Amino acid sequence: MRRGNEINLQRAQAAAVRAARAVGALMRHELHATKRAQSVTQHDIKLELDVYSQALIERSLRRAFPQAALLGEEGVAGCADAAYRWVVDPIDGTVNFAYGIPHACVSIALQRRSQSPRTAQYADGYDTLVGVVYEPFCDELWTAIRGQAACRNGKVIRVSRRANLAEAVVSIGFTKSRESLQAMLPYFRNLVHRVRKIRMMGSAALGLTYVACGRFDAYLECEISLWDIAAGGLVIEAAGGEFWRKPIAGYHKYYVVASNGLLRRSLRLPR
């Protein structure tokens, strides 16, 4: 990669924050409005606002950084193998949002193609450099740049230090597929007796940032999309935690366990 094509990460973070806040303002305005669904399945809803919000983010980020592609829940823009790409979930927690539950967020990450694909963070050879997660209802903004401390609303955050699973609050995500439900339900029944509390909140990105700032001690899901985890995963690592992921079959799908770095072995993960 030629040095002249490199992206300034501070500028990239500022651009991602602006885009996230713009969509967050729209989410606040529309929380209690009647939503128009584009598609509905048993375990998921896609709103017209999801598509519109990603288009807003795409225009803003690609205008500022035209050399970067964009990969999002609502589609792809730009060159598929670009040196840089934005990874976007315009509304993470859409079902919550559709039902008027104020627990949803905007997730934006900047990734760069790794010069060492074998050691890249993600299976298709990319590493996350910038992560921004914005929850508009409590006005909480999590930010991270690789190699720097993670922050919430500008203040440095750290993961918890709880090492005893019996004292831990663990968040679990249940995805849409029957296979993942069948894998997770027996694990859930076992884990619920071994922790202080289990939480199922409905937003993977917020689950990750809650681990990063010590509200949760771990988050796990056995089938989750890249755009749900790219930003929050970096925030956890920058806050001193552990972000373990394994690619699985499916389009940009991963098995994820995020924790304060002290609990993964005691979680006894489902296979």
Q: What is the pLDDT at residue 4? A: 44
Domain co-membership, 77 together with 169: no
Domain co-membership, 182 together with 138: no
| CATH code for the domain of 119 | 3.30.540.10
Q: What residues pair up with 262 in beta bridges, in sequence order?
A: none
Q: What is the pLDDT at residue 44? A: 65
Q: What residues pair up with 245 in beta bridges, in sequence order?
A: 256
Domain co-membership, 119 together with 19: yes
Burial of 34 (0-12, 13-18, 19+ CB in 10 A): exposed
Task: Dump strand ranges (E) for 122-241.
Answer: 126-135, 140-145, 151-152, 155-156, 169-172, 197-199, 218-225
Rounded distance, CA 22 to CA 154, Å? 18
Q: What is the pLDDT at residue 3? A: 39
Domain co-membership, 134 together with 227: no
Domain co-membership, 105 together with 18: yes
Domain co-membership, 59 together with 177: no
Residue 212 makes CB contacts below 8 A (sequence gap 6+) with: 142, 150, 157, 159, 232, 235, 236, 238, 239, 241
Give pTM, 2 decimals.
0.93
**Structural domain tally of the chain?**
2
Rounded distance, CA 164 to CA 106, Å? 32
Domain co-membership, 140 together with 256: no
The DSSP secondary-structure symbol of 115 reads S
| CATH code for the domain of 174 | 3.40.190.80
**Is there a contact between 48 and 62 (Cβ–Cβ < 8 Å)?**
no
Domain co-membership, 73 together with 206: no
Domain co-membership, 207 together with 131: no
Domain co-membership, 29 together with 82: yes
Closest CA to 93 of 156, 127, 137: 137
Q: Which of 99, 132, 156 is the last residue of a domain?
A: 156
Domain co-membership, 169 together with 257: yes
Helix (H, G, I), strand (E, B) or coil at 62: helix
Q: Which of 103, 137, 156 is the last residue of a domain?
A: 156
Domain co-membership, 141 together with 12: yes
- Record the tokens describing residue 171, joined without a space: 């968040």
Q: Which of 103, 129, 156 is the last residue of a domain?
A: 156
Task: Give the mean pLDDT per block of 10 residues along the chain (271 residues).
Answer: 70 98 96 80 73 94 95 87 95 94 98 89 95 98 98 98 97 80 85 95 97 97 94 98 92 94 86 66
Rg (CA), the chain: 18
Q: What is the pLDDT at residue 98? A: 93
Q: What residues pair up with 106 in beta bridges, in sequence order?
A: 134
Rounded distance, CA 252 to CA 263, Å? 26
Residue 113 structural domain? 3-156
Rounded distance, CA 240 to CA 78, Å? 33
